[in-house]
Structure 1
Amino acid sequence: MKNYIRMIVNLVLYLGVTFLVFWGVGILKEQNETFKRLLDDNPPVLLIICACIIYLILTLLFQVRHKLTKSEPKRLLDAVGFRKLNDNEYVGSFLVGAGCALFFFGLMTLSVLPEKTLYELNNYVDVFSKSDAFVFAILGAGVIGVLFEEVYFRGLVFGELRRVLPLPVAFLAHAAVYAYFQPNLTISITGFFLALFYSFMYVKTKSVWSTVTAAATLNITIVAAKEYGLIEALGKGNDFMPVAVLVVGAIFVLLGLFRISRFAGIESGTGGKVEAYLKAIAAAGAYIAIYYAVLTSVIYIWTQVLTSYEPIRPWLNESSNNLWALVINDIIAVALYFFILRRYRSVNLFELCGFSRISRSTVVQIAILSISMGLWVTSIAKIPYVEETFPQFDTLFNSLVGGPLLPFIVFLLFHSVYKEILFRGLIFNAFKTAMPLAVVFLLDALVYGQLFFQWDPALTIYGGMGTVIFGLLYLWYRSLWAPIVAQLGLFATYYAARHSIAAFEIEFNGAFYAVMVVSSASVLFFMIRLWKKRTSAVPAPQPSAIPAKRGARAGA
Structure 2
Amino acid sequence: MKKVGTMLGNIAMYFGVFYALLYLLRSTYNFEVTLSFAKFLSRNQAMFMAVLFTLITLVYLLIFRIKGWIWPHADNNLFRVAGFRRLSAPRVWLMVGMGLAGSLFSIGLIVIDDIAQLFPSVPALVDDLIKGDSAVYVIMGAGILGPTFEELLFRGLLFRELRKVMPVYVALVLQAAAYAYFQPSMALSVISIGSGIIYGSLYLRTRSLWAPILVQITAMSTIFLLKYAGFYAWYDKLNEGVLYFITAVCLMALIGGSIYVWRTSDQGHDWIRVAKARMADTPSAAPKGG
Report the TM range for the smaller structure's normalisation: 0.7 to 0.9
Cα distance, 1:55 vs structure 2: 1.0
Partners of 2:128 and 2:178 lie apart in 1 by 21
When residues 114 and 220 of structure 1 are mapped into structure 2, their CA distance, relative to the original with a 3 A threshold, is: closer
Residues 28 and 35, structure 2, Cα contact 8 Å, conserved in 1: no
Q: Shift of residue 229 of structure 1?
A: 2.0
Give me the CA root mean square deviation: 1.9
Aligned to 2:140: 139
User: Which residue of structure 2 lines up, in the alignment, with residue 253 of structure 1?
Assistant: 254
- Paired residue for 1:168? 169
Name the SS for the 1:164 alignment partner. coil
* Alignment partners' CA distance in 2, 1:53 and 1:137: 18
Equivalent of residue 106 in structure 2, options 104, 107, 130: 104
Q: How does 1:145-156 map to 2 (within 5 A)?
A: 145-156=146-157
Alpha-carbon distance in 2 for matches of 1:111, 1:167: 39
What does residue range 387-466 of structure 1 map to in structure 2 within 5 Å? none
Cα distance in 2 for partners of 1:73, 1:123 equals 42
Give the letter aligned to residue 174 of structure 1.
Answer: Q
Task: Quote the Cα distance in structure 2 between the aligned partners of 1:207 and 1:138.
Answer: 23
Percent of paired sites with the same residue: 27
Structure 1 residue aligned with 2:93: 91
Structure 1 residue 64 corresponds to structure 2 residue 63: no
What is the CA deviation profile of residues 221-250 of structure 1, one whole-angstrom value per residue up to 9, with x for unaligned ones?
Answer: 111111122223323465223202202212
Question: What SS does the aligned partner of 2:148 have?
Answer: helix
Query: Closer, same or farther in 2 for the Cα pair 1:157/1:128, shift >3 Å?
Result: farther
Structure 2 Cα separation of the partners of residues 8 and 227 of structure 1:
42
Counterpart position of 1:39: 41
Give the whole-Å Cα distance in 2 for the aligned partners of 1:136 and 1:114: 26
TM-score (norm 1): 0.46
User: Following the alignment from structure 1 to structure 2, what is the Cα–Cα distance between the partners of residues 80 and 26?
Assistant: 28
2:113 partner SS: coil
Per-residue CA deviation, residues 182-211 of structure 1 (Å, 9 max, x unaligned), is: 100001111111110000000000000111
Residue 13 of structure 1 corresponds to 13
TM-score, normalised with respect to structure 2: 0.86
Letter in 2 for 1:101: S
d(CA) in 1 for partners of 2:143 and 2:115? 27
Q: CA deviation at 1:266?
A: 5.1
Counterpart residue number, 1:232 = 233
Letter in 2 for 1:155: G
Whether the 8 Å CA contact 1:129–1:137 is kept in 2: the answer is yes
Cα pair distance change 1:95/1:114, threshold 3 Å: closer
For 2:10 and 2:133, locate their aligned partners in 1 and report how far apart those are by CA, in whole Å: 37
| Range with greater deviation from structure 2 (196-205 or 101-110) | 101-110
CA distance in 2, matches of 1:71, 1:186: 43
CA distance in 1, matches of 2:43, 2:171: 37
Aligned CA distance change for structure 1 residues 33 and 99 (closer, same or farther; 3 Å): same
| 1:114 CA displacement | 6.6
CA distance in 1, matches of 2:209, 2:80: 11
C-alpha distance in 2 between matches for 1:248 and 1:116: 20
Measured in 2, the distance between the counterparts of 1:176 and 1:128 equals 24
State how far apart, in whole Å, the 2-side matches of 1:193 and 1:129 are.
25
Matches within 5 A, 1:277-356: none
User: In structure 2, how many angstroms separate the alpha carbons of the residues matched to 1:241 and 1:231?
Assistant: 14
Residue deviations 1:265-318 (CA, integer Å, cap 9, x gap): 659xxxxxxxxxxxxxxxxxxxxxxxxxxxxxxxxxxxxxxxxxxxxxxxxxxx
- Structure 1 alignment gaps of length 5 or more: 268-556
Structure 2 residues without counterparts, runs of 5 or longer:
269-290
Is the CA contact (8 Å cut-off) linking 1:89 and 1:263 kept in structure 2? Answer: no
Aligned 8 A contact 1:66 1:72 in 2: yes
Instruction: Report the Cα offset of residue 259 of structure 1.
Output: 3.5
Matches within 5 A, 1:542-553: none
**2:55 counterpart letter in structure 1:** I
SS of equivalent to 1:112? helix
